[in-house]
C-alpha cells in the first residue's frame, strides 16, 4: 500500500511513519508534504497513492483549502488536534480521523476501516467534512444596529429575547421588552444567527435559547414554551419543528 503523509511537524510525520511500519509492513510512504501548495503541486503532477494522511492545520493554511483546487479519489484519514466539538462533527459526517498524539491502536482501527471502504465514496466524504469545517468556523452575527429615536444603537445577540414578524415586518425584541424594526426577514436571520443560540419555533418567531424557561406538551403533538414577551400561538412550537427543537435544547 502506497501512502502519502501531509504534516507540517517533522516529528509528527516521523512518528506516523514508524507507526505505519508497525501496523503493516506492506505500507510504503511514497511522499511527504507540509503545505497546501505542496499537496496541490503533488496532485497536479499526477500523484498516485492508495491512502492519504492529511493534517488539518498546515504551514500555509488548512487542508480544506486543497479540495477546491484538485480532484482526488484517494481515501483520506485526517489527523487533528481539534477539540471535542470538532471531533463530533467529523464523526457525524462519517469521516475517519486520528487525534494527536496518534496511538498504534487507533491507527490500526482507521486502516482497517479504510480498507473496507470503497474509494468511490471519498468525494462525498470530503464534501461533508469541508461543509462541517466551514459551518464550525462560520462567523455569525453578534450584534444588530437599531434605531432609537434619532440615534443608532447596538444590541448584542445575548440581549435579544426573540425575533418576530408581523405583516411582513420583522422586529427584534430584547429581554427588557424593547421592540425595534430590523431590515431582515426571518429566513435571512436563520442564516446569520448562531444555530446554537437561536431557533425558529414557528412561522413567526425565532427565539433565543436563554429565553426558554419551560416547555409544555401542547395540542396535536406540538409544544408550548413558557417565556416572557410571548403569548398565545406565538409561543407554540409547530409540529414539524418539534423534533429539531428537542435536539436544539438537548445540545
Instruction: List domains and CATH numbers for the chain.
Output: 2-136 (3.40.50.2300), 143-250 (2.40.50.1020)
Q: Which three cell numbers stand for residue 57?
A: 492545520
pLDDT of residue 86: 60
pLDDT of residue 95: 60
97, with CB counted inside 10 A (0-12, 13-18, 19+), is: buried
pLDDT of residue 230: 93
Task: State the residue for C-alpha cell 429575547.
Answer: 161
pLDDT of residue 179: 95
Question: Do residues 218 and 224 make contact, with C-beta atoms less than 8 angstroms apart?
Answer: yes
From the list 40, 14, 24, the residue with the least C-alpha distance to 107 is: 24
- Would you state the torsion angle of the CA atoms of residues 189, 180, 203, 248, taken in this order, to the nearest 10 degrees? 60
pLDDT of residue 98: 86
- In total, the chain counts a number of residues equal to 251
CB atoms within 10 A of CB 153: 13
* pLDDT averaged over 10-residue windows placed end to end, the chain, 251 residues: 94 95 94 95 90 90 85 83 60 66 92 73 69 72 91 95 95 96 95 94 96 92 92 93 93 74
CB atoms within 10 A of CB 137: 10
Q: What is the DSSP string of 13-76?
A: HHHHHHHHHHH-TT-EEEEEE-SHHHHHHHHHTT---SEEEEESEETTEEGGGTTTT------E
Q: Are strands 76-80 and 97-99 parallel, antiparallel or unpaired?
A: parallel
From the list 149, 146, 153, 154, the residue with the least C-alpha distance to 183 is: 146
pLDDT of residue 143: 95
Question: Do residues 3 and 28 make contact, with C-beta atoms less than 8 angstroms apart?
Answer: yes
Q: Look at the pTM and tell me if it is higher than 0.95.
A: no
pLDDT of residue 83: 60
pLDDT of residue 72: 78
- Cα–Cα distance, 36 to 66 (Å, whole number): 6
From the list 35, 31, 42, the residue with the least C-alpha distance to 7 is: 35
The helix/strand/coil state of 170 is strand
Question: Do residues 93 and 136 make contact, with C-beta atoms less than 8 angstroms apart?
Answer: no
Q: Is the dihedral of CA 102, 103, 107, 109 positive or negative?
A: negative
pLDDT of residue 211: 96
Amino acid at each position: 500500500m502506497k501512502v502519502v503523509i501531509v504534516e507540517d511537524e517533522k516529528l509528527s510525520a516521523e512518528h506516523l511513519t514508524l507507526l505505519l511500519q508497525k501496523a503493516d509492513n506492506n505500507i510504503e510512504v511514497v511522499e511527504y508534504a507540509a503545505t497546501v501548495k505542496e499537496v496541490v503541486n503533488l496532485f497536479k503532477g499526477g500523484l498516485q497513492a492508495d491512502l492519504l494522511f492529511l493534517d488539518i492545520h498546515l504551514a500555509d493554511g488548512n487542508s480544506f483549502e486543497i479540495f477546491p483546487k484538485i480532484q482526488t479519489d484517494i481515501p483520506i484519514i485526517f489527523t487533528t488536534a481539534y477539540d471535542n466539538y470538532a471531533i463530533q462533527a467529523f464523526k457525524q459526517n462519517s469521516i475517519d480521523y486520528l487525534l494527536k498524539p496518534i496511538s498504534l491502536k487507533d491507527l490500526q482501527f482507521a486502516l482497517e476501516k479504510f480498507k473496507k471502504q470503497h474509494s468511490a465514496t471519498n468525494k462525498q466524504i470530503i464534501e461533508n467534512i469541508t461543509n462541517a469545517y466551514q459551518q464550525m468556523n462560520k462567523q455569525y452575527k453578534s450584534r444588530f444596529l437599531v434605531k432609537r429615536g434619532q440615534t443608532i444603537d447596538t444590541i448584542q445577540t445575548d440581549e435579544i429575547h426573540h425575533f418576530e414578524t408581523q405583516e411582513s415586518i420583522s422586529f427584534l425584541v430584547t429581554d427588557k421588552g424593547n421592540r425595534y424594526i430590523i431590515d431582515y426577514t426571518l429566513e435571512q436571520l436563520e442564516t446569520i444567527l448562531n444555530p446554537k443560540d437561536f431557533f425558529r419555533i414557528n412561522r413567526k418567531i425565532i427565539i433565543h435559547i436563554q429565553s426558554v424557561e419551560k416547555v409544555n406538551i401542547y395540542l396535536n403533538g406540538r409544544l408550548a414554551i413558557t417565556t416572557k414577551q410571548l403569548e398565545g400561538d406565538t409561543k407554540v412550537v409547530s409540529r414539524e419543528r418539534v423534533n429539531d427543537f428537542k435536539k436544539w435544547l438537548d445540545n
